[in-house]
Structure 1
Amino acid sequence: MTLPHLALVADPHDRRGLLRTDDAWLAERWDDPTSRVLVVSGTRIRPVEGGIEWLPTAQAPDGVRVLLGDRDGVTWWAVIVGSELGRSEPDRWVPLRGLLPSFTDDLAREAPLVFHAMGLAEWHAAHRHCPRCGGSLEPRAAGHELVCRDCGKPQFPRSDPAVIMLIAAGEPGSPEERCLLGRHPSWPAGRYSTLAGFCEPGETLEDAVRREVAEETGVVVGEVTYVGNQPWPLPASLMVGFHGRAISERVVLEDDDVEDAGWFTREDLRRGAESGELVLPGGVSISRSLIELWFGGPLPGSW
């Protein structure tokens, strides 16, 4: 089956990493009338009807130029400007999370470019001073490096690994097999999702799965199997997806991030999703893919 989250990474661009310090090449591509640029105000962008607004570079405002790369014979850029522009029109400028439901069908091709741009914008917004001496930072390498003007220490973008997992119990493939889903206290009634959490220093991803599930629900996990991953620049994560098998099923809630958790059979998922009583993650998320892969096919409804 086709996993829903793969639509967001199906058509990656050539990031041209080796040319980020080639000033002549960068100037040539910026001046090319076919090049296109996404304007990011702080960490917000302005969508237009039917898609994302990509401007000719000649129409771009002054700001930090970020090379995204080449695709389809076009060089794609982002320009990061101050957040004032977005604040002046709050109804027109939206954060990346507000765009996620739109990344379906044809617009999904733009997701790798937009994720790249927004991930760097989030990084620039969060890194204003050198962590070594507190000096100011200067962008280099077409926006992919920040160098301290005082001590010269370079900073590079980072992605924080986070595990996201669907845990199952019972005889695999049987009608009694069930999966573990939970809900955050802030979510609307009926909304449930897979469990997730960040990997800690010195910890394998598999052990992070076991620890997070135990901390959030008290369930003990044994076998853990890698499924796939998804970039998630909200603000700077890489979601690494797993399936796991429970060796205990008693749910004990001790983590404030989980208001409720429980076991669902495939029939529970089908019936709840069809009635709308159970609201599952959106189709663009790896969480949805983990659930539907275990379920064995698409499910109706989503956030």
Structure 2
Amino acid sequence: MYYRGLDDFLARGRAALAEGPVAIVMVEDDAEVDTTLRHHMQSGFRAVLALMPDVVPLAPDLVDTVHRIACDPYAEGALQSAVNRIAAAAPGTWFFYCYNAEFLFYPFCETRTVGEMLAFHAEERRSAMLTYVIDLYAADLDTAPNAVCLDTAQIDRTGYYALARKDPAHHDHPRERQLDFHGGLRWRFEEHVPPARRKIDRISLFRARPGLALRGDHTFNDEEYNTYACPWHHNLTAAVVSFRTAKALRTNPGSRDGIDTFRWHNSVPFEWHSRQLLDLGLMEPGQWF
């Protein structure tokens, strides 16, 4: 299904939002677009929305199954604005958002749907879920100049850390149950990454409600949505494995000439399985077994 823009989708396609969860994918280029959309369809999302420029092709088998919405991904605040408008049209629906060449993994995702996970999460009185954006990168940048290669994808097995998230409204005291997480390529090549973009945490899964708004730093205007756990025990977390930072470092003129490889002594092949992410501590099952 094709829509001329977000206004057209909200006028003609709003019924797709009636039953969640719904995945929103912002397509910035042609890197693994079809793979990204198929991955999230197979994860169990009831609807997949692809906000993408008309010049980017879409595989024939996806034309009738994905809601394609014409969009300029490089307009200021494009993703933030789109997520907020779509979520406002469907209060109560669970949403997930990401970019192309990013893939959601959650505990036991090989045998359980995202809907089953979110049903459990909601039973724990949670309306949002913390996800860690874990960098992927090709093993050989000579054969994959844009750093995207599914077959040779690498991941950092160490180098992740968290810092207290300060609250400016309360004399910079740490916010309760909130942390700023760092690591991956944004940490190893931080000289090429603005400080405001070095965090790897993102509230990618959330249940819409009136007045809720996504902010530019991937947090929400409701501080409880930004917490990693409830007050009484640990909750589920998930991971978004992503080629996006590697692509950007290879595309940006200020960084591409200084990077011959992203591999280092802590690089390991990504196994495309939730067990690896669980073993590395890059997501948590909480009370879900």
Give me the TM-score of the superposition, normalised by structure 2.
0.29
Higher strand share: 1
Greater relative contact order structure (CA < 8 Å, 6+ sep) = 2
**Structure having the higher Rg:** 1
Give me the TM-score of the superposition, normalised by structure 1.
0.28
